[in-house]
Amino acid sequence: MTFDYDLFVIGGGSGGVRAARVASGDHGAKVALAEEYRMGGTCVIRGCVPKKLMVFASEYGEMAQDAQVYGWDMDVKGFDWSRFHDGLVKELDRLEGAYRNTLKNAGVETFNQRATVVDAHTVALADGSTFTAKHILIAVGGRPFVPEFEGSDLAITSNEVFHMEDLPKKALIVGGGYIASEFACILNGLGVETHQYYRGSQILRGFDDECRNHIASHMQAHGVQIRCGTDIVKLNKQGGRILATATDGTTEEFDVVMYATGRVPNTDALGLAGAGVKLGLKGEVIVDDYSQTSVPSIFAVGDVTDRIALTPVAIREGHAFADTVFGGMKRTADWDLVPSAVFTQPEFGTVGLSEEDAAAQCPIEVYTTAFRPMQTLFAGRQDRVFMKLVVSAQTRVVLGCHIVAPHAGEMIQLAGIAVKMGATKEDFDRTVAVHPSISEELVTLRKPVRTA
Element (H, E) at 294: none
d(CA 396, CA 307): 29
Task: Supply the minimum distance, in Å, between the C-beta of residue 63 and ligand NDP.
Answer: 21
Q: Which of residues 193-212 bind ligand NDP (CB under 6 A)?
A: 198-200, 205
Do 144 and 259 form a contact (C-beta atoms < 8 A)?
A: yes
Element (H, E) at 20: helix 14-21
Paired sense of beta strands 398-404 and 385-392, if any: antiparallel
Sketch the per residue contact string, 209 through 228, with ligand NDP: x for CB under 6 A, - otherwise.
Answer: --------------------
Assess 175 for contact with ligand NDP (CB under 6 A). Answer: yes
Sketch the per residue contact string, 316 through 345, with ligand NDP: x for CB under 6 A, - otherwise.
Answer: ------------------------xxxx--
* Other Cβ atoms closer than 10 A to 261: 21
d(CA 27, CA 12): 19
Q: Is 435 a catalytic residue?
A: yes
Q: Candidates 29-37, 127-135, 258-266, 288-296 — which segment interacts with ligand NDP by CB under 6 A?
A: 258-266
Assess 183 for contact with ligand NDP (CB under 6 A). Answer: no
Do 158 and 262 form a contact (C-beta atoms < 8 A)?
A: no
Number of residues in contact with ligand NDP, rule: CB under 6 A? Answer: 23
Pick between residue 20 and residue 310 the one whose CB is nearest to ligand NDP: 310
- The sign of the torsion formed by the CA atoms of 437, 438, 441, 442 equals negative
- Per DSSP, the three-state class of 357 is helix
Contacts of 328 (CB under 8 A, 6+ apart): none
Task: Supply the minimum distance, in Å, between the C-beta of residue 144 and ligand NDP.
Answer: 7
Q: Which of residues 97-156 bind ligand NDP (CB under 6 A)?
A: 147
The residue type at 42: T
Pick between residue 24 and residue 158 the one whose CB is nearest to ligand NDP: 158
- Per DSSP, the three-state class of 397 is strand
Give residue 330's Cα distance to chain centre. 28
- Please identify which residue in 173, 310, 419, 423 interacts with ligand NDP, judged by CB under 6 A: 310
d(CA 2, CA 20): 20
Please pick, among 121, 214, 319, 435, the residue that the annotation labels catalytic: 435
Q: Candidates 127-135, 259-267, 393-401, 433-441 — which segment interacts with ligand NDP by CB under 6 A?
A: 259-267
Beta bridge partners, 404, equal 348, 386
Q: Candidates 18-26, 27-35, 217-225, 260-268 — which segment interacts with ligand NDP by CB under 6 A?
A: 260-268
Pick between residue 9 and residue 180 the one whose CB is nearest to ligand NDP: 180
- Please identify which residue in 103, 117, 260, 287 interacts with ligand NDP, judged by CB under 6 A: 260
User: Among all residues, which ones are annotated catalytic?
Assistant: 435
Residues lying near ligand NDP in the complex (CB under 6 A) are found at 147, 175-180, 182, 198-200, 205, 231, 260-263, 309-310, 340-343
